[in-house]
Amino acid sequence: MAISVDDAVPGPVSAGSPRPRRRRGGKARTAVEITLLAVLLGSSLFAVMWILQTSIKTGQDIYAVPAKFLGFDVTLQHYRDVFVAPGGGRSDLSQSFLNSVVVAGSSTVLATLVGVPAAWAYSRFTLKAKKDQLFFILSTRFMPPVVVVIPVFLMYRELGLIDTRLGLILVYTAFNLPFTIWMMKGFVDEVPSEYEDAAMLDGYTRLQAFWKFTLPLLIPGIAATAVFALIFSWNEFVYAIFLTSSQEVRTAPPAIAGLIGGTTVNWGLVAASAVVFALPVLVFAYLVRKHLVAGVTLGAVRR
């Protein structure tokens, strides 16, 4: 059967002809998705809002039944108790927060200083069994910390590193280093090696070419990697509670956990401690937000 051109190609649609209808379920589906997202967001933020409210409530309002979401008396006494002892002077919690800053900051810096050059070497040079070495480095993160905490404890006891800041810094650095190497190797791979080759043709050494040309391009990746390494060191609980015993060395996570126990719990102090504990990482992430976004999206589009 022959088909004419007029039958095969439809003519132009006139102004009076009806337009194709949109799907009726499109708006309903969008409304359902927005509702589900709002519910998920509300459930996620509820715990945060509850902690913030508890940290500024008086003891009477904290234990009020039914719970007071509005109309409660505001107090900052719990935040004062985080830093000031009941009898005056510095509290044990403030010392624990200082220990967390020193341990987490030092381990993050050490892991970055060692991991970035190592990642650059694995990316630029041809090494024997390089894939096997990278797999071995990554395999150290396969096991959870609780599996190896006993061997680490026995080794530290022989070396005299139990209940020391140096011991925590070393173990956190060791566990952050594989993550840093793998993350930074991906970022180094995205920087063309021709930059370094051109610099060496101009008389720079290989290390000078890395320092002056490659390293500045890696700042977004370093910032992103440092944030994740800092979060791990800052939140780590298992090593902190097994390898430390005194308040002078113990970090914030086990110190805050120690507030919960006994016959009565000062939930206002617990909530205020949790808020103060969360602030440093949030502030650090905010300060490097531009580099963080650039580092996370680096390599998303292939050349």
- pLDDT tens digits for 257-269? 888 876 788 888 8
Q: Domain check: are 66 and 99 in the same one?
A: no
Residue ending a domain, choose from 75, 101, 134: 75
Q: Domain check: are 62 and 166 in the same one?
A: no
pTM of the model: 0.78
234 closest CA partner among 116, 102, 113, 110? 102
Per-residue confidence band for 113, with pLDDT thresholds at 50, 70 and 90: very high
Structure tokens belonging to residue 58: 């008086």
Q: Domain check: are 55 and 97 in the same one?
A: no
Residue 39 lies in a domain: yes
Lowest-confidence region among 128-132, 141-145, 169-173: 141-145
Q: Domain check: are 126 and 44 in the same one?
A: no
Sign of the four-CA dihedral 70, 74, 79, 81: negative
18 has pLDDT over 60: no
Per cent of the chain over pLDDT 70 is 87
> Which domain CATH number covers 171?
1.10.3720.10
4 has pLDDT over 70: no
Residue 107 lies in a domain: yes
Task: Give the whole-angstrom CA distance, residue 157 versus residue 146.
Answer: 17
25 has pLDDT over 90: no
Determine the structural domain holding residue 48 and report its residue range: 30-75
Q: Domain check: are 169 and 70 in the same one?
A: no
Neighbours of 209 (CB within 10 A): 21
Q: Domain check: are 117 and 180 in the same one?
A: yes
Residue 102 lies in a domain: yes
Structure tokens belonging to residue 55: 């940290």
Q: Domain check: are 109 and 232 in the same one?
A: yes
> What is the number of structural domains in the chain?
2
* pLDDT given for residue 129 in this prediction: 84
3-state secondary structure at position 90: strand
Once rounded to an integer, what is the mean pLDDT over residues 153-171?
92
Q: Domain check: are 62 and 100 in the same one?
A: no
Q: Domain check: are 229 and 121 in the same one?
A: yes
